[in-house]
Chain A
Amino acid sequence: MIKTKTVLVTLALVFGLAAPAMAADTHSTPHIEKQQWSFAGIFGTYDRNQLQRGFQVYREVCASCHGARLIAFRNLSEEDGPGFSEEQVKALAAEYEVADPTVEGGTRAAVPADRWPSPFPTEQDARDANGGSLPPDFSVLAKARGIVDPFPNWIFNYFTGYSEGGVDYIRALLLGYHEEAPAGFDLPEGKYYNDYFPGHAIGMAPPLFDEQVVYEVAEGQAEVPLTAEQYATDVAAFMMWMAEPGLPGRKETGFRVLLFLFLFAGLLWATKRRIWAGIEH
């Protein structure tokens, strides 16, 4: 009896609290569609081809403004990542110059152990080149963003382990531009209207267009559409990898740990029952 009442009271209270939250949430930010990501869920793992495509988009489009200071070239050939070979990474690194005060001239060609060079020498340079806005570093950006689910939905996230809010947001943001701001919106000079950016006035011009990046299609592989949507998805996935390169290994270990814990708990339960069998309690 108490149980039913408890549940009812809790539900009543919970919805009482939630109603105003939902009512207040009617500003002009459209709902962000959650995508199917290969790295979501218990068995999530990165799609190597997607990471390679995402890296290509990053390198050809984003990297001119956005750094990735925590990423070393060597990471690109590490396990669970985009899976470039060590030779490829070596050749890639050699295309970049990094600052090194110990060599003559102060710069040298990068080696795989070097971090990704920043596109601007200082923060002020970055702002000056971008109309006062600072392009954020990509290293952990995929985890520094998120989407806010309305009230009852976020509770389920704890049970599904939903951790892809950052990439869902980034993908939506990259595609969320409007040619013109809606009537009545006062868009400052040099800003662009974006559905998902907080405040809607974003300093970044629409970065992705159809057929902007040409993906190489290896033999026997399906052709990937050259659309802004595809680029946004791929680069978001690549950003998730940058933010959490050890994700597949973590999930793999986690599965084993959980399996062990369930079995161990079962055995302990049986032992406990056996021990207590003679005691009335």
Chain B
Amino acid sequence: MSEHSYVPGTAAEKWLDDRLPVARFAKEHLMDFPTPKNLNYWWTFGAILVMCLAVQIVTGIILAMHYTPNVAMAFDSVEHIRRDVNGGRIIQATHAVGASMFFLALYVHIFRNLFFGSYKAPREILYIIGVIIFILTMATAFMGYVLPWGQMSFWGATVITNIFSAIPVVGESVLQLLRGGFAVGNPTLNRFFSLHYLLPFVIAALVALHIWALHVPGNNNPIGVDVKSTRDTVPFHPYYTMKDLFAMVLFMIPFAWFIFFAPDILGHPDNYIQANSQVTPAHIVPEWYLLPFYTILRAIDFNVLFINSQLGGVIAMALSMIALLVVPWLDTAKVRSGLFRPVFKWFYLLFLINFIGLTYLGAQPAEGIYVVLAKVCTAYYFIHFFVVLPVLSRIEKPLPLPTSISENVLGKAHA
């Protein structure tokens, strides 16, 4: 680091540096920041996510200029954006498709983290901020989906807000507070619009913390061995700025494909029917990215002692997110990377498939074989976190680790 440190080039830069060292900050954190040289493309999703958030905020601000948060006008105002606003069809499609692409990148980012053990010491805070960002993003996306005021918007809002009524004692009050009344209606739409505009900025602030927390210990890397010397790293710029930029543009290809050629394929046709409190859709399905947790919510359809099934579902769903928050203390294995954990690797794969299964089941009607499968998948979700990870941490014998990143890199080059 020392050979790269910032030296103000001119008197003006010196003047600024003594007062607000932004240029120094940028040089040290955006350019010189030492980054392990063996990061693979799974590590580019952090940058991709920053791009996704920026795209959502920019398109969202523009949409808010033309959108009307009123139950009588919301649906038509979205159509007005699509039909009459210059570039509106593209901006609206980018925002709608962008939500799905955001979650796609989020899930890749999370599963990369889970495989390479990036949540382990000393990155627990970094990781926990990430999980909070994930949960807030789900809340934001859910509220955003309500805004077009289609059938799925309305009934999704009804079903999801209803979850909170299961909370003992205060449930009913919380439910009314969320809805702004006894049923989903105009006050609900208004407060969701307000929060949908607010939360992305909270998320942006958390992203800043997330990156700050990243820049204290530095990046984890595919072999999970700490950086030992400057031979193990390269400066962030130009090496990773360029790699991230390339990955971002690559990511924009499927993104653009959906925007321009199938902007509605990720949504539900029912959301092109204006909300109607008198007609319930045959199947109420949340957006795909909420499905795994929706399955867990629905899987608890039985009472446990004094806990009824509704509250049980809510507890299970809350626990599924708490499980993510406490992973660093469930998996205490010293070795970070899954590459060097011969048994973990297989359980990780099973967990991944199980998670895709949970997603799939969330979109299926709660009947027949699906009910059983949902229970099995939900059970495995928890078993993975609360049984498999702690047990593996104790009994698994990891493969020998390379002594350093550069040794591993050289070994690979000569093999």
Contacts and interface: CB of A to CB of B under 8 A. Distances in A.
Interface of A: 6, 9-10, 13, 17, 20-21, 24, 42, 70, 136, 139-141, 143-146, 157-158, 161-163, 165-166, 198, 243, 245-246, 250-251, 253-255, 257-258, 261-262, 264-265, 268-269, 271-272, 275-276, 279-281
Given A17-B360, A250-B263, A264-B249, 6 more contacts: A70-B83, A162-B262, A163-B265, A250-B89, A258-B256, A280-B410
A161 B238 CA distance: 36
Interface string B315-359: 000000000000000000000000000000000010001001100
B249 A265 contact: yes
B269 A165 contact: yes
Contacts of A158: 262, 265
**B37, B246, B410 — most chain A CB neighbours (10 Å):** B246
Nearest to A144: B272
17 contacts: A13-B353, A17-B373, A70-B83, A139-B79, A143-B264, A144-B269, A157-B262, A250-B260, A250-B263, A254-B256, A254-B257, A257-B260, A258-B253, A265-B246, A265-B250, A272-B246, A279-B37
B270 A144 contact: yes
B349 A272 contact: no
Nearest to A70: B79
Interface stretch (B171-179, B212-220, B363-371): B363-371
Contacts, number: 117
B90 A198 contact: no
Interface in B145-160: none
Contacts of B234: 279, 281
Contacts of B89: 246, 250
Nearest to B151: A144
Given A144-B270, A146-B269, A281-B37, A20 B246 contact: no
B17 interface: no
A265 B253 CA distance: 9
B24 to A, nearest CB: 24
Contacts of A276: 239, 242-243
Contacts of A265: 246, 249-250, 253
B261 interface: yes
Given A254-B256, A264-B249, A269-B246, A70 B265 contact: no
B16 interface: no
A251 B76 CA distance: 23
A268 B243 CA distance: 8
Nearest to B270: A144
A254 B261 contact: yes
Nearest to B365: A24
Contacts of B242: 268, 271-272, 275-276
Interface string B219-259: 00000000000000010001100110110011011001101
A6 B245 CA distance: 30
A44 B11 CA distance: 60
Contacts of B38: 281
B360 A275 contact: no
B62 interface: no
A84 B78 CA distance: 27
B269 A145 contact: yes
Contacts of B238: 275
Contacts of B270: 144
A139 B272 CA distance: 10
B82 A275 contact: no
Contact of A144 (B245, B273, B373): B273
B353 A10 contact: yes
B239 A24 contact: no
Nearest to B267: A143
Contact of A253 (B260, B361, B406, B410): B260
Given A20-B368, A258-B256, A253 B250 contact: no
A161 B257 contact: yes
